[in-house]
Amino acid sequence: MTEMTTTPDGDNEAQVTTRKATRRGGGDPATRGRTTIADGVVEKIAGMAARDVVGVHAMGSGLARTFGAVRDRVPGGAKSVTRGVKAEVGEVQTALDLEIVVDYGVSIGDVARAVRENVIAAVERMTGLEVVEVNIAVSDVKLPDEEEEEPEPPRIQ
């Protein structure tokens, strides 16, 4: 804000008056409030990251996959990316349990290591949570000659 005043000898003097900006709420706006992340959000991220690993055939136990296949066929039903994933989310940390089916012929140790690395990287990058553990249970091996439990729908030609 600028004010003009006239001195007794007729000269104009500019006086600059500044107002001190007051900060409302105090502190960095990014620190005002809390962000909570639901277990299901972490489960979806982990499920997607685990499925991206070569050698992971499916997620979940045989029973969960069977029920999931039925649920997926219901009109309007979506494929569950959280199948085979359980997350416990705290304020700054999370722990994950994954149940996977591996393809026959792959090294289970290598697949488990790759799943851990991919899941930890994705969850920590997207949520900012520290992943304290990723427990992996291999519930089955998909043999080359086994039928799919979730067959592809017939294609119209």
User: Are the CB atoms for 110 and 118 separated by under 8 Å?
Assistant: no
Q: Is the pTM of this model over 0.85?
A: no
User: Are the CB atoms for 66 and 149 separated by under 8 Å?
Assistant: yes
Rounded Cα gap, residues 78 and 49, in angstroms: 18
- Which parts of the chain sit beneath pLDDT 50? 2, 64-65, 151-155, 157
pLDDT digits (tens, 9 = 90+) for 63-90: 544 555 555 555 655 558 999 999 999 9
pLDDT digits (tens, 9 = 90+) for 52-68: 999 999 999 765 445 55
Alpha helix (H) residue ranges in the chain: 39-51, 62-73, 108-127
